[in-house]
Amino acid sequence: MFKLARQLLPQQPHILRRLPRFISTSDEAKSGDTIGGLPTDLVNEQKLKKTSRTLSTLQNHSAPIAARVTVSKDESRDFMAVFPDVVRDLTGVTRAYNCNDAANWFARVLQYNVPRGKKNRGILCVLTYKNLVPADQITPESLKLAHYLGWCVEMLQSFFIMSDDVMDNSTTRRGQLCWHRVEGVGLTAINDTLMVENAMFAVLKKHFSHLDCYVDLMELFHEISFITTCGQTLDQINSHRKVSEFTMDNYKSIVYNKTAYYTFYLPFALAMHLAGFKDAEAFRQSKTILLEMGHFFQVQDDFLDCFGNPDVTGKIGTDIQDNKCSWLAVVAMQRANAEQKQIMMDCYGQEDPIKVNRIKDLYKELSLPTTYATFEEESYNMIKTHIQQTSRGVPHQSFLQILNKIYRRDS
């Protein structure tokens, strides 16, 4: 499936040009000019303050960064209440082709894989729709359509991770065995991923084909699916490269394509279509902001993978061992001298715990936690500024709600 993505989509230069560069894309940091791509005087100012400010992503949170993009119990319950209808619709479509056994199997596939995660992407679609449409104009029927769109997003997510688990031959996912590891499944999981992917379009046809936005919804799912597979290909290609070959341009391409589009832009844009938005400029402005959020979110994850407390983040980071093109690795190579670059090349991508710890020590020697703290604060403020500058009818609160959930938990 991912072979198709080798014919990569052209970059969206109008988007990338609009994203301010906090980190230099050159191979070397320019001494006296920037530190890790940030203005030297800004970083030095932060150091001179000599504060003991704990990084916001590590401030005694009891859940990982991804888990902190949370929703209320009522929202989650309402979303889950629609899932049985989704399963009923899809098994009904399958039985219509005289495939009763396949319908029973597919119900098991859906129930095991689709509703097991945090469902943030799907619920984001619902919350965005509710923010975009005046409360007195939302009907039970239109709200249920938003829930159906959210479940289509969750099916797309399941399609991606089920495929990824087969490729990586992973063992567990979301606290249970990966689907292909379940007894009696095996490589049948490949066909199951295709069923899940195509199920999205069965739901769209059944519930949205009478709406003016139907074609826009279909095209958006096709586009984002292909973009994400392109990002997966970029990630796989770069994981086999030497750390000396990592660049910030490559890093951003991976982040935007593999994560930001389907995690942030897709749910938001679906809600915009359902809400009746037609203005291309409104979609363009939204895409720019949401890709910025996706980049911000991934840099946070990269930092936590290395420096987060596993008891807090909920996972043991392996980006160093996996030779990932991460924000930390790219900035380290930008800032390192010749001796430090050699340490990176000798130790990065190695399983040896001693070498892994040497990389972490080097990150500290290069003051990457300080650079990250500045990046985090400045990125948050920059995105807030961009939100305030939007002027095409999308309520600012729709963006701020997402940003604040990423930056710090809403209380």
Catalytic residue chosen out of the listed positions 108, 118, 130, 384: 118
Long-range CB contact pairs, 28-36, < 8 A, 24+: 28/334, 29/334, 29/335, 35/335, 35/367, 35/371, 36/331, 36/334, 36/335, 36/366, 36/368, 36/371, 36/375
The alpha carbons of the chain give a radius of gyration, in whole angstroms, of 22
CB count, 10 Å around CB of 205? 12
Q: Is 173 a catalytic residue?
A: yes
Considering 165, 192, 216, 235, which one is annotated as catalytic?
A: 235
The whole-angstrom distance between residue 333's C-alpha and the CA centroid of its chain comes to: 24
Q: Are 225 and 2 in contact (CB under 8 A)?
A: no
Q: Which of 79, 296, 297, 307 is catalytic?
A: 297
Count other Cβ atoms within 10 Å, centred on residue 89. Answer: 17
Q: Which of 68, 119, 121, 258 is catalytic?
A: 258
Q: Does the annotation count 297 as an active-site position?
A: yes
Specify whether 168 is catalytic.
Answer: yes
Please pick, among 27, 164, 284, 408, the residue that the annotation labels catalytic: 164
The catalytically annotated residue of 165, 192, 216, 301 is: 301
Angle at 228 between CA 64 and CA 181, to 5 degrees: 65
* 311 bridge partner residues: none
Which of 389, 370, 256 is closest to 307 using CA atoms?
370
CB-based contact 351:321 (threshold 8 Å): yes
Rounded-to-integer distance, Cα 207 and Cα 203, Å: 6
Q: Is 302 noted as a catalytic residue in this protein? A: yes
DSSP string, 78-119: HHHTTHHHHHHHHHHHHHTTT-HHHHHHHHHHHHHHGGGS--
Question: Which among 165, 192, 216, 302 is annotated as catalytic?
Answer: 302
25, 248 Cβ separation under 8 angstroms: yes
Q: Please indicate whether residue 78 is annotated as part of the active site.
A: no
Cα torsion angle, 329, 334, 339, 341, sign? positive
Catalytic hit among 173, 335, 341, 358: 173
Of 403, 23, 8, whose CA–CA distance to 251 is shortest?
23
Residue 49 catalytic? Answer: no
118 is catalytic: yes
Tokens representing residue 8 in the block: 């990569």
- Spot the catalytic one: 6, 17, 33, 168: 168
CA distances from 26 to 234, 249, 307 (A): 19, 9, 25
The active-site residue out of 22, 106, 159, 160 is 159
Query: Does the annotation count 159 as an active-site position?
Result: yes
Active site residues: 118, 159, 164, 168, 173, 235, 258, 297, 301-302
